[in-house]
């Protein structure tokens, strides 16, 4: 199918809004052709994952966009960068990389993006309306935006997110088309232990299983009788999008496009039903840990996606004024950090041994100390997935309560009742 | 046989590397070495540089394109990429690399069921997308 561009879109591609916007429109159009999209649609907002430093080329691309005074055409929040610009934490990037990472973050701000620096923009005031078309990047932000907010986005990769934000348009295909948002697979958790479903590790573990089982299909979780809360859906989406290629999930009776199972299926028969068993859950939980030595921990990391204000409340109540013997890295954005400032909460957490990491996180930039054979404990399915490859740390998976107790006692502790 | 061209690029003759599990380029491939870094991946530790990389699927992070762009600019990219289906997240890396003035590998589409015939073979890929094994 040939791509049909409007006069306005063709004019932008020819340079009517400058060479940066022209390059952005060429990239959007090339992607539309690649994916077989018939046209481009206007977008209401964007979330940009491209400001994380992976090498010099990404910085040079951003600076090329900046040339000629290019600006984003829609609201655009920024995902994490490689540097903690708040100064809460320090990282070990060498001087050249630090300089290039800083230049990259600067370039995206010059393009007019908001310096939100978070992977949880949806908890930092950026919540597009149900049914609106947007161009969001970062796998957890994408899946939350589609699934929990019901706004429509494909999984926009680096470069395409900023290109769409500058052009103001996105290719019309995939999850922008209402019919394509239909669940085809039922992920039935009704036979699982109800105590597990109520536990705080349930949703990251289920998400990890869901991602592996579903791949890039759209599934609907059935058998959930109580709304698990936004932070649980956040953890589920993040885990599913790191273990698989999930861009949209539904939870019958919980998420906005699934008031009930039949609606999520668009009143059609499912292609498959996955009956989740307690054994599948136990296996999924085991797979989250990679450490050979389950008796050692060197660090604890939480906050992938970034901790919300209520997750900080929970952290404070679990620490209960005690000293941590092992550093606990709490990754968050400025939106949640602001609530900890000014009333001594941040100082009190830091005095306990919490290292707050803002604007970035411990798996995207070298913050964790380089220790041979080191082990990281985490409650995040996403950290569990990426930490071994990106940090060299082995992983032990546990609940936030288990993570805190382990940090207090300097050894992995399991089965705390909290 | 002839594959559909997803992104134009350079013709090549190179060994096939058929991955047996989907991969996330970000976190799964080291952009400084071209080695598969995901410890849970069956081909962990294998280099994708200079190979005809046959991907049964891609998963995970939306930063795959950034890693592919870095690999292209550091001359560590695969010689060609063969995908079961078009993947905008990964292939944007090639589209942007071309905007930045780099010569890029070609991206092709083939059914993943055909990958088995490529294992441990050298492939010759022409500019029109035709593939011969030797």
Does the beta-carbon distance from A52 to B66 stay under 8 Å? yes
Residues 6 or more apart from A195 whose CB is under 8 A from it? Answer: none
Question: A51-100: per-residue pLDDT in tens?
Answer: 999 999 999 999 999 987 999 999 999 999 999 999 999 999 999 999 99
State the nearest Cα–Cα gap between A362 and chain B, in angstroms.
13
User: Domain check: are A202 and A299 in the same one?
Assistant: no
State the nearest Cα–Cα gap between A164 and chain B, in angstroms.
13
Give the pLDDT confidence score for residue A342 in this predicted structure.
83
Closest by alpha carbon to A35, among B68, B69, B7, B54?
B7
CB contacts under 8 A, A 15-34 vs B, are: 23, 26-27, 30-31, 34
Distance, C-alpha A385 to centroid of its chain: 13
Average pLDDT over residues A134-145: 96
Which residues in B lie closer than 8 A to residue A138 (C-beta atoms)? 61-62
Q: Quote the domain boundaries for residue A304.
A: 289-409
Distance, C-alpha A232 to centroid of its chain: 13
Average pLDDT over residues B88-111: 94
| Count of the separate structural domains present in chain A | 3
DSSP, collapsed to helix, strand or coil, labels residue A124 as: coil
List B23's β-bridge partners, or say none.
B58
Among positive and negative, which fits the CA dihedral A326, A408, A352, A124? Answer: positive
Give the pLDDT confidence score for residue B59 in this predicted structure.
79
User: Domain check: are A198 and A319 in the same one?
Assistant: no
Average pLDDT over residues B39-60: 93
Does the beta-carbon distance from B93 to A159 stay under 8 Å? yes
Q: Does residue B89 surpass a pLDDT of 90?
A: no
User: Domain check: are A40 and A168 in the same one?
Assistant: yes
Q: Are B92 and A31 in contact (CB under 8 A)?
A: yes
Closest by alpha carbon to A127, among A110, A148, A108?
A148
Task: Report angle CA A341, A347, A348 to the nearest 5 degrees.
Answer: 115
Does the beta-carbon distance from B93 to A35 stay under 8 Å? no
Which residues in B lie closer than 8 A to residue A290 (C-beta atoms)? 39-40
Asked about B61 being catalytic, the answer comes back as yes
Kindly identify which residue of chain A lies nearest to residue B60, measuring between CA atoms: A242
Starting from the edge strand earliest in sequence, which strands make up the sheet with A75-78, in order? A75-78, A45-48, A135-136
User: Domain check: are A396 and A350 in the same one?
Assistant: yes
Residues in chain B: 134
For strands B12-18 and B122-125, give the pairing. Answer: antiparallel
Of A226, A252, A286, which residue sits at a domain end? A286
Which residue among B39, B88, B100 places its CB closest to the CB of A60? B100
For residues A81 and A365, give the distance between their C-alpha atoms in angstroms, rounded to a whole number: 9
CB contacts under 8 A, A 93-122 vs B, are: none
For residues B98 and A14, give the distance between their C-alpha atoms in angstroms, rounded to a whole number: 18
User: Domain check: are A110 and A198 in the same one?
Assistant: no
User: Domain check: are A130 and A27 in the same one?
Assistant: yes
User: Domain check: are A187 and A149 in the same one?
Assistant: no
Cβ density class B114-126: b for 16+ within 10 Å, e for less = ebeebeeeebebe
Average pLDDT over residues A388-404: 95
pLDDT level of residue B58 (50, 70, 90 thresholds)? confident
Question: A222-260: per-residue pLDDT in tens?
Answer: 999 999 999 999 999 999 999 988 999 999 999 999 999
User: Domain check: are A21 and A146 in the same one?
Assistant: yes
Q: Does residue A187 surpass a pLDDT of 80?
A: yes
Does the beta-carbon distance from B62 to A26 stay under 8 Å? no
Q: Are A137 and A50 in contact (CB under 8 A)?
A: yes
Query: Is residue A1 in a domain?
Result: no
Q: Report the percent of chain B where pLDDT is more than 90.
A: 84
Q: Of B61, B62, B73, B130, which is the active-site residue?
A: B61
* Backbone phi, psi, residue A222, to 5°: -120, 150
Give the pLDDT confidence score for residue A216 in this predicted structure.
87
Q: Quote the domain boundaries for residue B48.
A: 4-133
pLDDT level of residue B60 (50, 70, 90 thresholds)? low
Closest by alpha carbon to A32, among A154, A173, A151, A134?
A173
State the nearest Cα–Cα gap between A391 and chain B, in angstroms.
10
User: Domain check: are A170 and A152 in the same one?
Assistant: yes
Question: A278-329: per-residue pLDDT in tens?
Answer: 999 999 999 999 998 889 999 999 999 999 999 999 999 999 999 999 999 9
Query: Is residue A401 in a domain?
Result: yes
Query: Is residue A2 in a domain?
Result: no
Of A177, A210, A239, which residue sits at a domain end? A177
User: Domain check: are A66 and A110 in the same one?
Assistant: yes
Does the beta-carbon distance from B96 to A385 stay under 8 Å? no
ipTM of the complex: 0.89
What rounded mean pLDDT belongs to chain B? Answer: 94
Give the pLDDT confidence score for residue A108 in this predicted structure.
98
Residue A8 burial (C-beta neighbours within 10 Å; 0-12, 13-18, 19+): middle
Closest by alpha carbon to A91, among A386, A370, A365, A376?
A365
Q: Does residue A412 surpass a pLDDT of 60?
A: yes
Q: Are A236 and A203 in contact (CB under 8 A)?
A: yes
pLDDT level of residue A170 (50, 70, 90 thresholds)? very high
| CATH code: domain of residue A336 | 3.30.499.10
| pTM of the full structure | 0.92
Q: Does residue A357 surpass a pLDDT of 60?
A: yes
| CATH code: domain of residue B65 | 3.50.30.10
For strands A185-188 and A219-222, give the pairing. Answer: parallel
Q: Does residue A180 surpass a pLDDT of 50?
A: yes
Q: Does residue A47 surpass a pLDDT of 70?
A: yes
Of A177, A208, A229, which residue sits at a domain end? A177
Q: Does residue B134 surpass a pLDDT of 90?
A: no
Give the pLDDT confidence score for residue A1 in this predicted structure.
65
User: Domain check: are A24 and A173 in the same one?
Assistant: yes
| Count of the separate structural domains present in chain B | 1
Q: Count of A–B CB contacts within 8 Å? A: 136
User: Domain check: are A273 and A296 in the same one?
Assistant: no
What CA–CA distances, in Å, run from A323 to A6, A22, A88, B94?
Answer: 62, 55, 19, 50
pLDDT level of residue A418 (50, 70, 90 thresholds)? very low
Query: Is residue A261 in a domain?
Result: yes
Cβ density class B47-81: b for 16+ within 10 Å, e for less = bbbbbbbbbbbbbbbbbbbbbbbbbbbbebbbbbb
Question: Helices B88-99 and A56-66 sit at what angle, rounded to 10 degrees?
Answer: 70
Interchain contact A211–B (C-beta under 8 A):
yes
Give the pLDDT confidence score for residue A416 in this predicted structure.
66
């Amino acid at each position: 199918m040939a791509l049909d561009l409007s006069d306005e879109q063709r004019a932008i591609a020819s340079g009517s809004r400058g060479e940066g916007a022209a390059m952005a429109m060429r990239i959007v159009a090339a992607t539309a052709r690649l994916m077989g999209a018939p046209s481009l649609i206007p977008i209401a907002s964007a979330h940009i994952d491209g400001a994380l430093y992976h090498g010099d080329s990404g910085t040079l691309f951003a600076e090329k966009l900046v040339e000629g005074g290019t600006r984003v055409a829609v609201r655009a929040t920024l995902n994490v960068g490689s540097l903690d610009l708040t100064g809460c934490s320090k990282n070990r990037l060498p001087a050249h990389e630090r300089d290039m990472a800083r230049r990259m973050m600067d370039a995206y701000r010059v393009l007019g993006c908001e310096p939100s620096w978070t992977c949880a923009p949806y908890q930092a005031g950026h919540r597009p309306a149900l049914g609106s078309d947007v161009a969001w990047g970062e796998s957890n932000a994408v899946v939350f935006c589609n699934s929990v907010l019901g706004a429509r986005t494909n999984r926009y990769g680096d470069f395409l997110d900023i290109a769409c934000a500058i052009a103001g348009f996105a290719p019309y295909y995939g999850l922008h088309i209402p019919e394509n948002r239909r669940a085809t697979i039922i992920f039935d958790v009704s036979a699982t232990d109800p105590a597990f479903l109520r536990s705080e590790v349930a949703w990251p573990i289920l998400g990890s299983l869901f991602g592996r089982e579903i791949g890039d299909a759209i599934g609907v979780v059935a058998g959930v009788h109580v709304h698990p809360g936004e932070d649980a859906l956040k953890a589920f989406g993040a885990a599913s999008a790191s273990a698989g290629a999930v861009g949209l999930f539904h939870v019958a009776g919980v998420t906005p496009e699934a008031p009930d199972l039949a609606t999520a299926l668009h009143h059609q028969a499912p292609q498959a039903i996955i009956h989740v068993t307690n054994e599948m859950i136990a296996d999924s939980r085991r797979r989250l840990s990679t450490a050979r030595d389950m008796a050692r921990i060197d660090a604890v990391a939480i906050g992938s996606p970034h901790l919300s204000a209520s997750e900080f409340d929970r952290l404070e109540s679990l620490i209960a004024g005690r000293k941590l013997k092992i550093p606990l890295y709490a990754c968050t954005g400025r939106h949640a950090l602001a609530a900890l400032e000014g009333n001594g909460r941040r100082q009190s957490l830091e005095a306990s041994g919490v290292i707050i990491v803002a604007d970035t996180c411990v798996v995207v930039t070298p913050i964790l100390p380089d220790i041979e054979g080191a082990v990281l404990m985490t409650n995040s399915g996403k950290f569990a997935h990426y930490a071994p490859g990106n940090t060299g740390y082995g992983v032990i998976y546990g609940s936030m309560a288990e993570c805190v107790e382990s940090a207090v006692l300097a050894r992995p502790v399991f089965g705390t009742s909290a | 046989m002839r594959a559909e061209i997803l992104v134009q690029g350079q013709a090549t003759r190179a060994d096939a590397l058929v991955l047996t599990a989907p991969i996330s380029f970000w976190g799964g491939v080291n952009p400084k070495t071209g080695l598969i870094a995901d410890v849970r991946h069956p081909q962990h530790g294998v280099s994708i540089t200079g190979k005809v990389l046959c991907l049964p699927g891609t998963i995970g992070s939306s930063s795959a394109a950034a890693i592919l762009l870095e690999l292209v600019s550091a001359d560590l990219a695969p010689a060609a990429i063969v995908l079961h289906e078009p993947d905008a997240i990964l292939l944007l890396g090639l589209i942007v690399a071309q905007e930045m003035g780099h010569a890029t590998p070609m991206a092709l589409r083939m059914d993943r069921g055909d990958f088995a015939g490529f294992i441990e073979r050298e492939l010759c890929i022409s500019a029109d997308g035709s593939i011969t094994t030797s």
